[in-house]
Structure 1
Amino acid sequence: MIERQRRTKILATLGPATDPPGVLDELFRAGVNVVRLNFSHGDPSGQARRAAAVRAAAQRAGAEVGILADLPGPKIRIERFAEGKVVLKAGARFDLVANANAPAGDVSQVGVSYLGLPGDVTHGDTLLLDDGLMQLRVEQVEGERIITTVLNDGVLSDRKGLNKLGGGLSLGALTERDKELIAIVAEIGVDFIAVSFCRNAEDMNEARRIAREHGSDAALVSKIERTEAIENLAEIVEASDVVMVARGDLGVEIGDAELPGLQKKIIRESLARNRVVITATQMLQSMVDNPIPTRAEVLDVANAVIDGTDAVMLSAETAAGSYPVKAVEAMARICLGAEKQFETDTDFEKAPRDLARADQAIAMAAMFLTEHIGVRAIVAMTESGGTARYLSRFRARAPVYAFSRHDGARRRMAMMRDVFPIAFDSRGLAPREAAREAMRCLYDRKLLSEGDRIIFTSGDHMEKHGATNTLRLLQIGMQGQAEGLGEL
C-alpha cells in the first residue's frame, strides 16, 4: 500500500541553530519544503552563505526546496538605553523622541527610529511596545517629542518594536534598505521575496517592478500585518503570488480577539483568488525551549491546516531554538494528522464560472473527475507551475505530481499544498510520450501501482507557458505502462 504523503508544506526559518554542519540535511529529511532567510537579522553575506548551503543540502537530499527572502520592512523600533534597559511604572511620564541624534534613553525618555511618528499620533492614542507587553497612552505632541503616560509596569529594553493600536502609521512598506536588499536577493537567486508591512497593491507592484528590473522571477509574498492591509486585503491578494498571515504584528495592531477570525478570512480570500497562503508566527513557540509542543499549539497548527492553508511556518523554533529538527518533525506529524481528520469535499457550485484561461478550465475539470470517479493521482506537465497552482486551489483527494524542467518553477511549487514537484524535461516529446515517461517515473518511485487510474494534463506545445489544454484519463498497466481510458 502506498504511504500517505503530507500535503501541507512546512516553511522553516534559518538562523544560528541551523548553521552547524548536518542540521540542514536533517531538516530536509524531517520534511522542510521551503526555508526562510530573515533579512531583519544578520548581514546579507551571511544569508547568501546560508542560501548556498541550502542548495547544496537540497541536492544531496534530492529534494525541491524553495528559498524565501523576508525583507525587514519599515519596522518601527525604539532606540537604545544608556543602561540597556529600564523599569517603567504605571502612571509615569515617558517621552518618545523622534530625532536621529536623541541621547541614549533612560527612565524618562528614549529615541524612536521613525522620525515621522509625531505626525501620525494624537492625544488618546495607544502605543504598544515589545509586542504589546508595554503600553503607552499619548498625552500630547510637542514638535519631535511625544509625551506619553505608562499604562502598565514592566521592563523595556533596547530596540523593541513599536506599534500603534488600530494602525494608521503612514510610512510605506519598502524602505531604501529594502530596495537595496531586493537587488541582493535577486543575485542570490531566491524563489520568494516577502514584503513586510505592505499597505496596498502598489506596495506589492513596486516590489515586483524592482525585482524584475534586477532579473529576479521570484514569487512576491505579501505579509499581512497592518490594519491598513486588512482594509485593502482584496487588492493586496490580487497583486501577490503568495500571502502570509503574519500574526505577530497583526495581532498587536488589531488585538488578539480579532486575530482568529481574520486568519480565516485571509486564508479564504487567498484561496478564492487562486493565491498560495502561509500561516506564520509562534505556531510551536514553546519548542524554542522544549522538545514537544503544547496541546494548544497542536490545535493551532491543525486548525490552520483544516482552514486550507498551503504552508505553516516556523520562526524562532528553528532559527534559534534548542530543538530545530524536532520542531519540524512535530509540525509534520500535526499536519499529517489534521489532513487525515477531514474529507475533501469540493463545492463546485461555488467555483468560478468565468474562467479566462484554458489551463484553469482543465484544472477544474480534473478536480471534478477526481471527486466523482476516483483517481490515485493527477499528473501535470507544466512549464511555470501555473497549472499546478490552479489544481492546488481545489482541495482534491488525489495528490498533484507536477513535472517541470525548470528549477525555479519546481522550487516555487514546493510551497503549494497538494503539489509534489518532479524534475522532468519534456522537450522533444509528444504529449503521449511524455505521459508514458511520467507514468514510468512515478511507478518506479512506487508512487503508483498497477491498476491505478490517473488524470494527466498537458498542452499540445509542451514547452509553452500557460498552454495546458488537454486532459487524459489513464490507467497504469503492467510494469508502469500507461493505458488510455479517455481524453478531453
Structure 2
Amino acid sequence: MHSSNLRLEEPIRMASILEPSKPNFFPAMTKIVGTLGPKSRTVEIISGCLNAGMSVARFDFSWGDTEFHQETLDNLKKAIKSMKKLCAVMLDTVGPELQVVNKSEHPISLQADTMVVLTPDQDKEASSNLLPINFHGLSKAVKKGDTIFIGQYLFTGNETTSVWLEVDEVKGEDVVCMIKNSATLSGQLYTFHVSQIHIDLPTLTDKDKEVIRTWGVRNSIDILSLSYTRHAEDIRHARDYLSKLDGLDQTQIFAKIENIEGLKHFDEILQEADGVILSRGTLGIDLPSEKVFLFQKAAIYKCNVAGKPVVVTRVVDSMADNLRPTRAEATDVANAVLDGCDAILLGAETLRGFYPVESISTVGRICSEAEKVFNQDLYFKKTSKHVGEEISHLESIASSAVRAAIVVKASVIICFTSSGRAARLIAKYRPTMPILSVVIPQLKTNQLRWTFTGAFEVQYLLCFSSCSWLPLPS
C-alpha cells in the first residue's frame, strides 16, 4: 500500500479480527442521527435509541403533521429525562420536493415498457397510466431522454416499490414517459426526482416557514436541516428568517446537499452553513454512480479542514427489514468514518424500519471499530498543512492540545467552554480520545428577563465527532 488512510499494521493479524470487540467506556465518537417516526416514537423505543448511541433526533416534515411530530418529541423529552442523556433536535424541511399525489391511496401497478403520463392537474385520479404531480414547471424543465425516479422512499434499491421513467415526449404541461421497470407504488404520496434539472421553487417554502414558525419555535429546535440547498443565498435567507423568530437566533443551519446545483456551489455553501449533510440517495441520481464516492471524499475533506460537521446518509438501508446490514453496507459505514465524517444519519432504518434500536447499535459498533484504525497522524498533518503558518491563537492552542494528548496517551481531553468554539476547534483535529466539553453557562439580560446560555452550544457539539459533554450546574 503506497498511501493509505488506515493505521493498520502489515501483515494484519487475523486472530485479532476474530477476537470479540472490547467494550469502551465511551461509545463511538462518530455521532448518530436517528429519524423518529411510526416505528420509533414511543418512550420505550426512543429510550432504547438513546441508550444505543443516538445523539441527534431528526424530525422529517416531508410527511406527517405537526401534531404527530409533537407527540413524538414529547416522548423524546420524557426519554431524555429518564435516561439522563442529551439529544439535539433536528427539523428537516421539505424544500422544493416534487411529489406524485395519489388521493385514493390505492396501490398503483406500473408495467415495464408501457407509457405513463405525469400531469400537474391534481384533480385527476392517479392510475397505472396517469400520475398527478405537484409541480407545473416539469414540462418546461425536462427533455426527451431525461431520467425520472419515483418512489415512496427514494433510492432504496428495492425495484418493486420504486420506478425509473424515461421522458419520451412533452405534450403541453404533461410529460409522457416510458416505464423502465415494473413496480407497485403504494400510499398517498411518492417523491419523484429528475436528474440534473433546475426546479424553479424556493428552497425554504411557505410550508417550511409555517412549520418553523410554529413547531420550531415552540420546541426551540437546535438544528435546521435545509433540504435541497443549492446556493449560499439559501443559507443566508434561512438564517435571516430564523433570526426574526423568538428563540431561534442560535439555531444551527445544516445545508443538505442533494443535487448537482448544490454540488457546483459547495464551497460557498460551506462558508455560510454551520454543517453539511450529504444526501447520497438523491445525489446518486444526479451523479453517475462511479462519481458518488469521489464527491463524498472531496466534500468530507473540505468540511474537515473548515472545522464544520459533515453528516453522511443512506448507509444501512437493508436494516429497515433485516437485523443485519449487508457486507457492503457495513464496509460503507466504516469507510465513511475513515473518510472523516462526523455523523451517520439513519432515515428509513429508524423511521419505518422494524429494528430502529438495533440499527443504531450496529452502526455505532462499526463506527467504533473504524475509529480504532483511523490514521490520526496523517489527518493531523493534512489539517495543519491546510491551516498554514498564519494560525489563530485559539486554533494554535487547540491543535497543540490534541498533539500533546496523543503524545502522553491521555484518556480524555477536558475542555471548558462557554461558546463551544474551543471544543469545536479541538474536534477539528480529530484526537484519538474523546473531548469532554464542560459548557459554562453565561447569564444574560434583555432588560426584561434574565436567561442562561449554553443549551444550544451543548446540543451543537452533539454533531461533532469526538465531542462528549458534561453539563455544569448553574
Do structure 1's residue 347 and structure 2's residue 381 form an aligned pair?
A: yes
Change in 2 beyond 3 A, CA 1:354/1:135:
same
Q: Which residue is equivalent to 1:62?
A: 84
Counterpart code for 2:261: E
Match of 2:293 in 1: 260
Higher mean displacement: 193-202 or 396-405: 396-405
Residue 78 and residue 355 in structure 1: after superposition, are their counterparts in 2 closer, same or farther (change >3 A)?
Answer: farther
**Which of 94, 99, 109 is the matching residue for 2:121?**
99
Partner of residue 145, structure 1:
174
Cross-structure match for 1:397: 432
Question: Is 335-344 or 136-145 further displaced after alignment?
Answer: 136-145
Q: In structure 2, what is the equivalent of residue 474 of structure 1?
A: none
- Give the Cα–Cα distance (whole angstroms) in 1 for the partners of residues 357 and 105 of structure 2: 37
* Counterpart for residue 441 of structure 1: none
- Pick closer, same or farther for the CA change 1:343–1:146 going to 2, 3 Å: closer
Q: From the superposition, tell whether residues 152 and 319 of structure 1 become closer, same or farther in structure 2 (CA, over 3 Å).
A: closer
- Indicate yes or no: 2:302 matched with 1:269: yes
The CA distance in 2 between the partners of 1:128 and 1:376, in whole Å, is 49
CA–CA distance in structure 2, aligned partners of residues 312 and 229 of structure 1: 20
1:210: which partner in 2?
A: 241
Long gaps (5+) in structure 1: 428-488
1:188 partnered with 2:219: yes
Q: How far is 1:156 from its partner?
A: 4.2
Match of residue 136 from structure 1: 165
Q: CA deviation at 1:2?
A: 7.8
Summarize the Cα distance change of 1:151–1:397 in structure 2 as closer, same or farther, 3 Å threshold: closer
- Name the amino acid aligned to 2:97: K
For 2:193, give the aligned amino acid: N
Distance 1:266 1:414, change over 3 A: same
Residues 1:108 and 1:343: Cα distance change in structure 2 (over 3 Å): closer
Aligned counterparts, 1:310-325, within 5 A: 310-325=342-357
Is the counterpart of residue 241 in structure 1 residue 274 in structure 2? yes
Q: Quick one: structure 1 residues 293 and 126, their matched pair in 2 at CA, closer, same or farther if it must change by over 3 Å?
A: closer
Amino acid at match of 1:402: S
SS in 2 for 1:306: helix
Query: Matched residues in 2 for 1:94 and 1:81: separation?
Result: 17
Q: Which residue of 2 aligns with 1:119?
A: 140
User: Are 1:302 and 2:323 matched, yes or no?
Assistant: no
TM-superposition CA deviations, 1:210-247 (whole Å, max 9, x none): 11211302111111111111111111111111111111
- CA contact under 8 A between 2:59 and 2:69: conserved in structure 1? yes
Tell me what 1:291 maps to: 323
Structure 1 residues 325 and 379, CA gap change in structure 2 (3 angstroms): same
Bigger relative contact order, structure 1 or 2 (CA pairs below 8 A, ≥6 apart): 2
Output the amino acid matched with 1:219: Q
Per-residue deviation, 1:173: 1.4
2:29 and 2:165 map into 1 onto residues whose CA distance is 44
Q: Aligned with 1:6: secondary structure?
A: coil
Secondary structure of 1:37's match? strand
**Where do residues 36-47 of structure 1 align in structure 2 (5 Å cutoff)?**
36-47=58-69
Indicate whether 1:334 and 2:366 are aligned. yes
Per the alignment, do residues 30 and 153 of structure 1 end up closer, same or farther by CA in structure 2, a change over 3 Å counting?
closer
Q: 1-side partners of 2:401 and 2:105: how far apart? A: 64
Q: Any idea what SS the aligned residue of 1:398 has?
A: coil
Distance 1:420 1:255 in 2: 37
Is 1:14 matched up with 2:46? Answer: no
Aligned partners of 1:343, 1:110: CA distance in 2, in Å? 50
Which of 27, 42, 63 is 2:49 aligned to?
27
After the TM superposition, which residues 418-429 of structure 1 pair with which residues of structure 2 at under 5 Å, given as runs? 418-424=466-472
The aligned runs of 1:379-390 (5 Å cut-off) are: 379-390=414-425
Moved more, 344-353 or 292-301: 344-353
Residues 124 and 384 of structure 1: CA distance in aligned 2, closer, same or farther (over 3 Å): same
Identity of aligned residues (%): 27
Q: 2:17 maps to which residue?
A: none
Q: Distance in 1 between matches of 2:129 and 2:44?
A: 48
- Alignment partners' CA distance in 2, 1:421 and 1:355: 30
Task: Output the CA distance in 1 between the equivalents of 2:386 and 2:363.
Answer: 31
Query: 8 Å contact 2:312–2:336 — kept in the other structure?
Result: yes
CA contact (8 A) 1:375 1:398 kept: yes
Cα separation, 2, equivalents of 1:152 and 1:46: 35
Rounded Cα–Cα distance in structure 2 between residues aligned with 1:311 and 1:156: 32
C-alpha separation in 2, matches of 1:361 and 1:109: 62
Which of 106, 111, 130 is the equivalent residue of 1:84?
106
The one of 73, 84, 87 equivalent to 1:51 is: 73
TM-score (norm 2): 0.83
> Residue 92 of structure 1: CA displacement?
3.0
What's the counterpart of residue 461 of structure 2? 413
TM-score under structure 1 length normalisation: 0.81
Map of 1:467-486 to 2, 5 A cutoff?
Answer: none
SS state at 2:311 partner: strand
Post-superposition offset of 1:82: 5.7
349-358 or 324-333: bigger deviation: 349-358
Stretch moving more, 184-193 or 126-135: 126-135
Q: Check the 8 A contact 2:43/2:75 in 1, yes or no.
A: no
**Residue-pair matches, total:** 424
Q: Secondary structure at the match of 1:104?
A: coil
